[in-house]
Amino acid sequence: MSLLDLININLSYGKEYSSQILRNVNVSIERSELVAIMGPSGAGKSSLLYVMSGLETPNSGKVIFNGNDITALSSDKQADLRINNFGFIYQFFNLIPILTAEENIVLPLKIANKNVNDYTQKIDKIIEDVGLTDKRHLKPSQLSGGQQQRVAIARALINNPKIIFADEPTGSLDRKNSVEIMQLLTKLSKCNNTAVVMVTHNPELCKYTTRVINMIDGQVK
């Protein structure tokens, strides 16, 4: 059984579903895989990521995570499943500006109703892993882009997710930082046994992945 299976997914928006975004998509993600989704702008890459992670409900088809059909769950159950099993990394980091780096990283533990005091060692370790020990009390505005994305990586990993969804995680970083962030993400996902599904426009990053999914016009090619 795969970690995640998308079966015959169709997604449409608009009046009477006039614009079809995903067309009969079938994709499986295996445990610990690092997959890149590539394709032209508007091909449906972000939409595919939203469907995979339960943030968007398809018009037809099933999304099976660990043997459970997540499209059949209530929205509360879906939210529980997401916070306990999925991590998210975005192009523009999406950190909370009034919280410090450490407080941002700890947020998913709080959302999952975990007692943060039980996790001090783990928090210290992950902050060290992403190289931010001396920056942990700074706010996002006091950090560089590469450092902010390191906070986001730590935040994505803090709940030991089975899978991380990353939408153009290096899209707003320069070349040097992009490579560093990819190396860090690859290393930490391996150590934590976490699969990564990453949308990217950068073919250079594909050398870090185990597989590339090509999307064109709402279809997986």
Give contact residues for ligand ATP (rule: CB under 6 A). 13-14, 19, 21, 39, 41-47
Q: Facing residues of 89 across strands?
A: 166
Among 2-10, 44-52, 137-145, 146-154, the segment contacting Mg ion (CB under 5 A): 44-52
Determine the Cα–Cα distance for residues 221 and 215; give it in Å rounded to an integer.
6
Side chain identity at residue 138, one-letter code: L
Structure tokens that stand for 125 in this block: 């370790």
Dihedral over Cα of 63, 54, 201, 152: its sign: negative
In the complex, minimum distance from the CB of residue 46 to ligand ATP, in angstroms, rounded to a whole number: 3
Which residue of the chain is nearest Mg ion when measured via CB? 46
148 binds, among Mg ion, ligand ATP, none (CB under 5 to 8 A by kind): none
Of residues 46 through 105, those in contact with Mg ion by CB under 5 A are: 46
Per the listing, tokens 């980091």 go with 93
Pairwise CA distance, residues 204 & 215, whole Å: 17
What minimum distance in Å lies between the beta carbon of 48 and ligand ATP?
7
Decide whether 2 or 91 has the Cβ nearer to Mg ion: 91
Nearer to ligand ATP, 12 or 210 (CB): 12
